[in-house]
Amino acid sequence: MTAENTADPSAPDTVVLIHGLWVTPRSWEHWIEHYEGRGYRVLAPAYPGLEVEVEALNEDPSPIEALTIPGVVEHLEGIVGELENPPIIMGHSAGGLFTQILLDHGYGAAGVVIDSAPAEGVRVTPIAQIRALFPVLKNPANRHRAVGFTKEQFHNAFANTLSREDSDEVYERYHIPAPGSFVWAGPLANFTPGHQDTYVNFRNEERAPLLFIAGSEDNIMPPAVNQSNVKHYRHAKTVTDYKEFAGRSHYTVGQDGWEEVADYALEWANEHATTRPARKEILMSSSPTHLSTPEGPGSVSGAPNLPAGFTDTFTSRFIEANGLRQHAVIGGEGPPLLMVHGWPENWYAWRLLMPQLARDFQVIAVDQRGIGLTDKPQDGYDTGTLAGDLVALMDELGHERFAVVGHDTGYFIGYALAADHPDRVDRMALAEVPGPLGVNPSPPLFGLPEPINNKLWHLAFNRVNDEMTEQLVRGREDIFFGYEFAIQGGQKGLPDEVQRYYFDLYSDPDVLRGSFGLYRALDTTLAQNAERKNRPLTMPVLAIGGAESWGEEAANGMKPAADDVQTVVIPDTGHWVAEQAPDQMLEALTEFLAPYREDGGGLR
């Protein structure tokens, strides 16, 4: 395949080539000449401080030791961001990871990553990769060093399909030490709380098309690593493709037959390149707070069986708040009403109530941290942090004071929100748990009556802070969550199609992990609640229970923590009150929220 640059003014006219570790831009020398011969402008920037020859870096590797991932990203963004038109961005190895980050940040018309280092969240680690990277990983002190390969190590790791003689020639021409911190960043990112330097938002619907190219014989970044990285993008509707070339090592950009790889990459990029403004124009015309409108699974546009006219009133929105990209479904006019779902659900749990409430309120139905389309960091799942997420969200939306409705885990989060930020919450309706955790004596681990144990066993299971729980549930979501919907649902249960929606939602491994986060952070939440219960809530609280579930206990459990608790028990209804008895719940909420509505609600 070949691709010639054309006179089409909207087509990319520049190719940016980003090198990987253990090499410099010199590693692209054949590709530069090849693409320039096709009429493209070709840029092959070095990492900052590495703008010297290979020989100089081998003599003095201190610039390599000084490198940081954010520093390289900022350097590359400065180069790409100044281009008049979005370029095709290609990266090899670590350059592939930098390409993924640049695309996620809004740069480029198309991206091609070759033998790419993985982004945060990719946990596949083949034995061949461990062996190849062992010279760096064997000593934690290497995190702060520039670490090179010996010729033998280079041959085994980088150029294993070449003869030893040919590999040694490649080593002499291209090899430099690599920053050990970059190599260690991959494994550490998956075990360190919060987003790390290698984070990429796999659900970014605005990302340019992306092609992964792997070599079947690559030891440093084996095909399994690239395949796993590709799978993490599966929930985004943007194009993500995968191509594997047989018999190619990590040195695929220079190994005999590199022209086939280069031509395939360029042909694919031209075929899939998007036409959009340069990044600097986007930054000048967009808000830093409100991001793109989500589409597809998890959003309004991807939700089945919505009430008539729902999409005329409500839209999905991404809002950057508290360092988190949060997803909220927003619509209606009036005082702000924040709705916080429970487990195992998302904003969709409120769909039957939202149209009626939107007649009197601006309804904001949010996905909790870790669930749905909201970001899923490794930590921050105690109710104090979860409440802080929502306060920051309302700040970004311009709401100083608001009312809250919460269900199940949303009850716990709502309590923390009102206790920690009492000046922000006008009044609050909470449904279907027997009070905030730790405010009342906890039930015994053993000795619970069987019907209660059948309903509460998931608390201990979800709390186990080990991937084992996720492994047991993964692929069996219909069994695990189906049991919860049934045992908690009373006589009515939930329709099969509604359960299927939640099964599909929670089949995402990141959502499953994130959904266990609140339970795994209970030690922190219990310590927080021990302090909160000394400050009883003063705003009005409505506690709603289903008669076939927690009933009056939803109110009894709140009374030690609040001065003004009102009670509603909905007959013939189980735990899923908003979906099983929407009319009765609307009636209760309408009456309870009337003073807030008539007062004009929160300040904006």
Q: Where are the domains of the chain?
A: 14-283, 310-442+521-599
Strand-pairing partners, residue 337, are 363, 403
Residue 188 — very low, low, confident or very high, per pLDDT cuts 50/70/90?
low
Amino acid identity of residue 201, one-letter, is N
310-442+521-599 has which CATH code? 3.40.50.1820
pLDDT at 421 over 60: yes
pLDDT at 223 over 90: yes
Better-scored residue on pLDDT, 255 or 290? 255
> Which pLDDT does position 120 carry in this prediction?
86
Two tokens at 575? 């735990």
Look at residue 341 and tell me whether its pLDDT is greater than 60.
yes
Of 123, 77, 78, give the one whose Cα is nearest residue 101. Answer: 77
**What's the average model confidence in pLDDT over 14-22?**
97
Residue 1: what pLDDT? 40
User: Does the pLDDT at position 387 exceed 50?
Assistant: yes
Q: Which residues, in sequence order, are bridge partners of residue 336?
A: 362
Write the CA distances from 591 to 84, 226, 305, 542, 562, integer angstroms. 58, 55, 27, 10, 20
pTM over 0.75: no
Q: Is the backbone of residue 93 left (phi > 0), alpha (psi -120 to 50) or beta?
A: left
CA dihedral of residues 144, 146, 152, 153 (deg, nearest 10): 40
- Is residue 219 within 8 A of residue 156, CB to CB? The reply is yes
pLDDT in tens, 422-465: 999 999 999 999 999 888 877 666 667 888 888 888 989 999 99
Secondary structure percentages of the chain, helix, strand, coil, to 5: 40, 15, 45
Q: What is the arithmetic mean of pLDDT over 366-384?
A: 96
- Kindly report, residue by residue over 104-143, the tens digit of the pLDDT: 999 999 999 999 999 988 888 889 988 988 998 888 888 8
Enter the tokens of residue 17.
């080539």
Any bridge partners for residue 339, and if so which? Answer: 365, 405
| Residue range 469-493: mean pLDDT, rounded | 93
Q: How do residues 498-535 score in pLDDT, each as one tens digit?
A: 999 999 999 999 999 999 999 999 999 999 999 999 99
Query: Distance between terminal CA atoms of the chain?
Result: 58
Comparing 62-76, 186-200, 301-315, the range with the smallest average pLDDT is 186-200
Tokens in use for 309?
Answer: 């006219």
Dihedral pair phi/psi, residue 540, rounded to 5°: -65, 140
Mean pLDDT of 6-31: 89
Closest CA to 575 of 401, 439, 432, 428: 432
What is the spatial distance between Cα 296 and Cα 235, in angstroms, rounded to a whole number?
Answer: 8
Least reliable range by pLDDT among 4-18, 89-103, 164-178 = 4-18
Gap between the Cα atoms of 57 and 179, Å rounded? 12
Is the confidence at residue 492, as pLDDT, over 90? Answer: no
Does domain 14-283 fall under CATH 1.20.20.10? My reply is no
What is the pLDDT, as a whole number, of residue 286? 39
- Report the pLDDT value the prediction gives residue 154, as an integer from 0 to 100: 96
Q: How confident is the model at residue 291 (pLDDT cuts 50, 70, 90)?
A: very low
Mean pLDDT of the chain: 91
Which of 285, 283, 277 is closest to 10 using CA atoms? 277
pLDDT at 602 over 60: no
Q: How large a percentage of the chain has pLDDT more than 70?
A: 93
The partner residues of 431 in beta bridges, in order of sequence, read: 407, 544
Residue 321 — pLDDT band, cuts 50, 70, 90?
very high
Cβ neighbours of residue 163 under 8 Å, at least 6 residues apart? none
Structure tokens at 578: 């908003």
Topology match between the domains 14-283 and 310-442+521-599: yes
| 555 pLDDT above the threshold of 80 | yes
Q: What is the pLDDT at residue 152?
A: 96
Q: How far apart are CA 30 and CA 302, in angstroms?
A: 45
Q: What pLDDT is stored for residue 296 in this prediction?
A: 79
pLDDT tens figures, 244-289: 999 999 999 999 999 999 999 999 999 999 876 555 444 444 343 4
Q: Cα dihedral angle (354, 357, 359, 361), rounded to 10 degrees? A: -110
Residues 556-579, mean pLDDT to the nearest whole number: 96
One-letter amino acid for residue 274 of the chain = T
Overall average pLDDT of the 164-184 stretch: 94
